[in-house]
Structure 1
Amino acid sequence: MANQDFVRQIDLHGFGRGPALSMRWHVDFVLLFFLLLLCGAGLFLLYSATGRDLDVVTRQAMYLGVSFTGMLIIAQIPPRFFMQWAKWFYLAGVLLLVAVLFMGVSSKGAQRWIQLPGFRFQPSEVIKLIMPITMAAFFAKRRLPPSFKDIVIALVLIAVPVVLIAKQPDLGTSILIGASGAFVIFLAGLRKRIIASAVCLAVPSIYVLWHFFMYDYQKQRVLTFLNPESDPWGSGWNIIQSTIAIGSGGLYGKGWLQGTQSHLDFLPESHTDFIIAVLAEEFGLMGCLVLFALYALIIGRGLFITFNAQTLFGRLLAGSITLTFFVYIFVNIGMVSGILPVVGVPLPMVSRGGTSLLTLLAGFGFLMSIHTHKSFMAGER
């Protein structure tokens, strides 16, 4: 057979159909597949964690549907749109946080919501997205590595919403928002002397945070973390019960729906912050490793998108979103297993909750937009 006849019989268009379809629909199908697997596993686990409550699982599935729709909508918007409007997004977000202080709705001792007709709105969740966009746009317009002046300005921009959210009080969210902004500064490139200065300032910063910004119950969480057995029937109860649940699962677990700590109500918040303890008890170490593998695949795909982004803005934004997602996972697992204080951070895409789902999947919508709008980004920095 002649070489030309052989080539003619090969459907060359078929080999390029996948990437072309991804670019045309602005969907990263690899990332979408991993996210669907993770969310499916989350619903499966949530059914057990809620004591077979189908109503909760159904509502969570509805939240997932809305969140995935929002993710796909955001993926259609070119990244340059977010870069151009970043400062206005930031200003609107700060104004909403200030509004929470004066007209916010209180619940369980915290004032974090604004009441709108028909539903409540939590501005701090939106700031999780606005912060990395603002920082990425800020550094994308400047020479790198950043000057000391630019770093100071960036730290002020980060500090304003972080302090406002910490006053609500919401320490967990303020930490995540601060981390998302700090990651952009780190990715923008820091000189060694600036890193050394930051390390030297860490200790006095902890002192200031402890004495001037942390509430009594937050201090108690830190003290409980250091010695949970000091108050086993009070503040230490959550950590003690979660570690018992994790340890009792062993290698393969007790089996789905067979967990005693959660189903006998020993484990608090088993369907939200402490849901990974349910996983460890019912599926053991092997079940946890499967979940960690799913998270690793998603983070790996996020880093792949980061390294292949064609603009500085895209690289900084994608890198910050990916690394912040890792912080979500690390903080939740750390606090449930007793290696970090309890700060109220849910397990991404597994814990019950609609607002956090919407925020997280919107972030992955940005990743898809960065990855699939390459032709629109030519010539941009």
Structure 2
Amino acid sequence: VLRTDNSVLGRWWWTVDRWSMAALMLLSAFGAVLVMAASPSVAERMQFDSFHFVHRHLATLGPALLLMLGVSLLSPVGVRRLALLLFVFGLLLMVLVLVFGTDTNGARRWVSLAGLSMQPSELVKPSFAVVTAWLLTRPKKQGWLHGRVLSITLLIFVLALLVTQPDFGMALVVGAVWLSQHFIAGMPPHALVIAAVAGVVGLVTGYFSLSHVQSRIDRFLYPDTGDRYQVDTALNAFANGGLLGRGPGEGVVKDTLPDAHADFIFA
């Protein structure tokens, strides 16, 4: 493709980050291989077809890759508009999930949409990063039109919804993204300290007010205080197989590890 090519494909080829695109494609292929290796045992234990999770993964992988390519064709203005739409839509779903969401271990994070279960916070997370970055590039104005003030307002609203679910893990991720963006944008040191202290206060409050948060932190700091079957089994898998594993079809941990196809797929 020549640099003088002004077609959609030509502009895309010379503006897209090809290294990042290649890395994402490689990760997608690697993930598909891992699902094929780890999920059959789990599917059989659940009395599904051996390749049940493989078929589900591949059925969503294709559309996801096409969607990624489609978004990469957008201009910066188009990306901002799409992020704003997703952000508003995600916020609406986060409000609805508090009423209609599925209650799992005392938390309401999932909502069923068109037959698919999803976490609205997963839509908010990337779109929030784009929207707040956009606000930080706005010309400085006084009052509520100031980009920083608007981004702080959005942060408080998002964190309030996440804590209400509660989802402290996602709240920490969103807060860290916001803090990193403002640090790069030149946020005054005293403001960074205030934001960091507020985050610590929120974490301490969650520890003393929510039993499942306290349990997870205690198990991390004091491994002998709770059930660590999955973590210990995963660590043993790495100890026996190393980072590269024991070879195709030779792994045995997937036969006993409950979430071998999900959170513990690398084990």
Normalising TM by the smaller chain, what interval?
0.7 to 0.9
Distance in 2 (alpha carbons) for counterparts of 1:257 and 1:19: 49
Q: Does 1:32 align with 2:21?
A: yes
Distance of aligned partners of 1:115 and 1:56 in 2 relative to their CA distance in 1, 3 Å threshold: closer
Q: Does 1:68 align with 2:65?
A: yes
Amino acid at match of 1:124: S
Aligned residue for 1:115, secondary structure, equals: strand
Distance of aligned partners of 1:194 and 1:87 in 2 relative to their CA distance in 1, 3 Å threshold: same
Conservation of the 8 A alpha-carbon contact between 1:27 and 1:72: no
Conservation of the 8 A alpha-carbon contact between 1:135 and 1:154: yes
- In the other structure, the counterpart of 1:226 is 221
| 1:67, distance to aligned residue in structure 2 (A) | 0.4
Gaps of 5+ in 1: 1-13, 278-381
Conservation of the 8 A alpha-carbon contact between 1:46 and 1:271: yes
Conservation of the 8 A alpha-carbon contact between 2:40 and 2:52: no
- In the other structure, the counterpart of 2:212 is 217
Conservation of the 8 A alpha-carbon contact between 2:87 and 2:127: yes
TM-score (norm 1): 0.57
Q: Deviations over 1:142-174 (max 9, x none)?
A: 349xxxx86455233113222312332333333
Correspondence for 2:231 among 233, 239, 249: 239
Amino acid at match of 1:195: L
Correspondence for 2:76 among 38, 56, 79: 79
Distance of aligned partners of 1:88 and 1:70 in 2 relative to their CA distance in 1, 3 Å threshold: closer
The more displaced of 161-170 and 68-77 is: 161-170
User: How high is the sequence identity, in percent, across the aligned residues?
Assistant: 27
| 1:68, distance to aligned residue in structure 2 (A) | 0.7
- In the other structure, the counterpart of 1:23 is 11
Q: Deviations over 1:13-48 (max 9, x none)?
A: x77489985524675443332222222121212222
Conservation of the 8 A alpha-carbon contact between 2:2 and 2:10: no
Correspondence for 2:159 among 159, 162, 181: 162
Distance of aligned partners of 1:159 and 1:211 in 2 relative to their CA distance in 1, 3 Å threshold: farther
- In the other structure, the counterpart of 2:139 is 142
Amino acid at match of 2:245: G
Q: Deviations over 1:232-278 (max 9, x none)?
A: xxx22222222111222236532222222222x0x33111111122x
Q: Does 1:47 align with 2:36?
A: yes
TM-score (norm 2): 0.78
RMSD of aligned C-alpha atoms? 3.2
Correspondence for 2:183 among 182, 186, 211: 186
Conservation of the 8 A alpha-carbon contact between 1:228 and 1:237: no
| 1:204, distance to aligned residue in structure 2 (A) | 3.4
Distance in 1 (alpha carbons) for counterparts of 2:58 and 2:183: 36
Q: How does 1:1-381 map to 2 (within 5 A)?
A: 16=3, 21-24=9-12, 28-51=17-40, 53-83=50-80, 89-107=86-104, 109-143=106-140, 151=148, 153-201=150-198, 203-212=200-209, 215-231=210-226, 235-250=227-242, 253-263=245-255, 265=256, 267-277=257-267
Distance of aligned partners of 1:35 and 1:252 in 2 relative to their CA distance in 1, 3 Å threshold: closer
Q: Deviations over 1:309-363 (max 9, x none)?
A: xxxxxxxxxxxxxxxxxxxxxxxxxxxxxxxxxxxxxxxxxxxxxxxxxxxxxxx
Distance in 1 (alpha carbons) for counterparts of 2:71 and 2:265: 29
| 1:105, distance to aligned residue in structure 2 (A) | 3.5
- In the other structure, the counterpart of 1:353 is none
Amino acid at match of 1:269: D
Distance in 2 (alpha carbons) for counterparts of 1:108 and 1:38: 31
Conservation of the 8 A alpha-carbon contact between 2:207 and 2:214: yes
Gaps of 5+ in 2: 42-49
Conservation of the 8 A alpha-carbon contact between 2:94 and 2:120: yes
Distance in 1 (alpha carbons) for counterparts of 2:222 and 2:96: 38
